[in-house]
Amino acid sequence: MVGRGGTSASFFHDHLAIAGKFLDRSFLNDYSQIVGRLRRFDEASAVDAAAAVFRRRGYTAASVDDLVEATGVHRGSLYNAFGSKHGLFLRALDAAAAPDADPDERLDLLMVALLELAAVDARVRDHVSNIISEKDVTAGQLGKRLLSRAEVDDEGEPE
């Protein structure tokens, strides 16, 4: 090893040895593991923004790019937090079941789930069934909301 004034590799080695005397390596390892996993976004806000995209566009038409843009969260972070677009949709359904969720927004997301996924996806079907049961959602409420979204009144005439 070359001493001071030698190669840059030896300079680095000398400084690393000095730093090692002052810092506990287990601290550095623990810190780097924690920092690497910190979330830099609010999951609840991201779920709310994604739910708005799903309600407006539907599940199938909502691209990951749409979700990235709406949430402001990078694609990799969305996948790390929710696993997939499907996982994010399930989280949106969970949020729709919350006591403070807007009833119309809940119905809108339930309609998306019922029309696009529930017939072929058991996890979505189970989520939807639980929400319908827990929130006493009726077919009449869903039908009325569907007509309202289509801007058709109860008598079958456009509003």
- CA atoms of 111 and 116, how far apart (whole Å): 8
Nearest Cα neighbor of 127 from 114, 108, 115 is: 114
pTM of the complete model beyond 0.75: no
User: Which residue, chain included where needed, has tokens 């709406």?
Assistant: 70
Nearest Cα neighbor of 95 from 147, 26, 45 is: 45
Q: How would you label 89-115 residue by residue, b for 16+ Cβ within 10 Å and e otherwise?
A: bbbbbebbbeeebeeebbbbbbbbbbe
Per-residue pLDDT of the chain (159 residues; tens, 9 = 90+): 444 555 555 554 555 455 554 444 444 444 434 445 555 789 999 999 999 999 999 999 999 999 999 999 999 999 999 999 999 999 999 999 999 999 999 999 999 999 999 999 999 999 999 999 999 999 999 999 999 999 887 665 555
